Structure 1
Amino acid sequence: MNLNTRFLGLFTALLFAILQSCSPTSSNDPQVTITEFEEIRAAQPEAIIIDVRTPAEYNSGTIEGANNINVLDDSFVPKVSTLDKNQTVMVFCKSGGRSAKAKAQLQELGFTNVVDLEGGIKGWKAADKKVVKP
């Protein structure tokens, strides 16, 4: 094996290792089911619940106890940065896309326990769970 081939192999392995270490593996964690979400909430009543949808969506109905912090708003990071990073944070949106983004951002900010509701408020409603007007 010549020097260039060995260098290329070593370079490729190093690049792969760097890319793996930079990717947030915990943001790939699966979302939790409605049952799991309820169990976590019951076991940890101090958990912070965040509806990451727009204020209009939030005002149309949300999960009881949820605070509205819109993940698409520029104020999302400053607002969540004031929260306790060691506290369980439970996020949801309409169907799961924005909450996955919010979960990844929270984890990048150092939050250690972020739970993302599978199916969002649509799934919650489909399961006939209670929705409240804020």
Structure 2
Amino acid sequence: MGNKFVLTMALVGGILFTSCQTNQVEKVTSTEEIQQIISSLNNVNQVDLSNPNNVLIDVRTPEEYAEGHVPGAINLNVKDDNFWKKVSELDSTKNYYIYCRSGVRAKSAEAIMLENNLKKVHTFQDGMLTYEGETEK
């Protein structure tokens, strides 16, 4: 009886271990795909903005935003005193893609968002300075 129990537990453990490894590989692939997208704001068209779970955020000032922004982006000025409060009201289940002029303010915004328990925050490494795509005003 004891040997059957040990064999059964070993089999169950092996199955669980294998299934955990498979899920981990899928997550790494997904992360790698996101890393490729966010390496440049010029790849923003690879983010499916028709999916309501993907949100593009421009963290520049309202004046900079009005001069031209990536279509579909919402403006949340990281320099605004209310930025922290606005971020705390965001849906933690969504994916946030952040950009600014050069990438510096986006990193600051990312840190604030992560402190507010938003886990799916992705920052473009560059910004509007090198962006060659369409803009809207």
The yes-or-no answer on 1:97 pairing with 2:85 is no
Q: Which runs of 5+ in 2 are unaligned?
A: 1-34
Alignment root-mean-square deviation, CA:
1.8
Give the C-alpha shift of residue 131 in structure 1. 0.8
Structure-1 separation of matches of 2:50 and 2:130 = 22
Letter of the aligned partner of 2:125 in structure 1? E
- TM-score, length of structure 2 as denominator length: 0.66
Describe how 1:1-134 pairs up with structure 2 within 5 A: 32-34=39-41, 36-39=43-46, 41-42=47-48, 45-46=51-52, 47-124=54-131, 128-133=132-137
Letter of the aligned partner of 1:94 in structure 2? R
Larger Rg: 2
**Aligned-residue identity in percent:** 32
1:12-48 deviation per Cα after TM superposition (whole angstroms, max 9, x unaligned): xxxxxxxxxxxxxxxxxx7532365432x12772211
Question: Secondary structure at the residue paired with 1:42?
Answer: coil
Give the C-alpha shift of residue 84 in structure 1. 0.6
- C-alpha change, 1:38 and 1:52, in structure 2 (3 Å) is same
- TM-score, length of structure 1 as denominator length: 0.67
User: When the two structures are aligned, how many residues end up with a matched partner?
Assistant: 100
Give the C-alpha shift of residue 119 in structure 1. 1.3
Letter of the aligned partner of 1:129 in structure 2? G
Q: Which runs of 5+ in 1 are unaligned?
A: 1-29
1:62-118 deviation per Cα after TM superposition (whole angstroms, max 9, x unaligned): 011111111011110111211111200111100000000001110111111111112
Letter of the aligned partner of 1:60 in structure 2? E
